Amino acid sequence: LFSGIRFSRASGRYIISIAIVLALVSTLSFGAGFVLTQFGWRWIPPSLGAACSIPASTLLFWCAAPFLVAPGSGDLGAAALFACIGLFFPGTVALLNFESNRLMGPNIAGALSSITPVFAVILAVLLLGETLSSTRVLALAAIVCGVAMTSWGRGKTWSCRSVWLLALPLASSAVRGLVQPIIKLGLAWWPNPIAAAVICYTVSSAVLVISARLHSTSGAAFDRRGALWFAAVGICNGLAVLAMYAALGKGQSPSFRR
Amino acid sequence: LIASYPVVTLVLSRLFLKDEPVRTLLIGGVAVTVGGIIFLILA
């Protein structure tokens, strides 16, 4: 973080690298997405909300794609892998996040959905046989304590449902943790994360829209206001992903005004 | 930096969601969780 902020003697000001600015945009967008979801589910259920949110993110990725994806550099095998991932990701993650946001509120859902790195560490230990260092054990203990603290006070109103309610955002984090190594495999063949996002999100959008159409025939109510709120959530999440990849790409160049 | 987004959610929900309770324990829990995640990523 601090390597991205340096003092310019010439201008007498602190210069913040563009990577830091992009990371801040990503942080704000991810955070705002959780709060906006609260407005969306007042009008439509999370299942319909996901069918509005993910296509909105997809639209944003398609708008960015001509500038960030060179079609000639594509790999058919990687595209097929991304399409297969798209059948369940990010659709399931969106559904789990929206449902946990509705049941637990944005703060607990947000905190629990951010623990994806924990599953990456668990996978590394289980599959790759990596050993846990003492600092990692300490970090995991802190995360467990933090999660317990967020849920503690609400125990009075949640009763026995608390434990399985925690499973929803934890499952969302687990799905993201599991999918990441598979996406990395595809990125080895076609090293373009935006192309991966475009394909995964397009397939997921199709799955969610078809599912919502089938669901709507069984009487689920659709409201335009809810659709717009969830579309805003999708734009926030899409912007967060784009800004995150851009920040990672710019991470090596420290200059902001060059 | 990006891993700290639950803190942003906490601030925004305090500002815009009046019916969402923001308790001291919740603030502490989010801070400890985010701190742990950042510590885990850096470790």
Q: How far apart are CA A248 and CA A205, in angstroms?
A: 26
Task: Report whether pLDDT(A256) > 50.
Answer: no
CB atoms within 10 A of CB A224: 10
State which residue of chain B sits closest to A136, comparing Cα positions: B40
Q: What is the pLDDT of residues B2-37, one digit of tens each?
A: 888 888 998 999 898 888 888 888 899 889 988 888
Q: What is the pLDDT of residues A54-86, one digit of tens each?
A: 999 999 999 999 888 887 778 899 999 999 999
- Tell me how far CA of residue A152 lies from CA of A161, A168, B26, in angstroms: 13, 17, 8
Q: What is the pLDDT of residues A145-181, one digit of tens each?
A: 888 888 776 655 555 666 777 888 888 888 888 888 8
Alpha carbon distance, N-terminus to C-terminus of chain A: 19
| Segment A35-47 mean pLDDT | 90
- CB contacts of A26 in chain B (<8 Å) are 2, 5
CB-based contact A107 B7, cutoff 8 Å: no
Candidate from B7, B23, B40 with C-beta closest to A118? B40
Say what the pLDDT of residue A153 is: 62
Say what the pLDDT of residue A199 is: 94
Side chain identity at residue A64, one-letter code: A
State which residue of chain B sits closest to A34, comparing Cα positions: B9
**Dihedral Cα A162, A163, A168, A173, nearest 10 deg:** 120
Candidate from B1, B6, B26 with C-beta closest to A1? B1
A142 CB near a chain B CB, below 8 Å?
yes
CB atoms within 10 A of CB A132: 14
SS3 A120: helix
Higher pLDDT, A112 or A83: A83
A140 CB near a chain B CB, below 8 Å?
yes
| Segment A95-118 mean pLDDT | 87
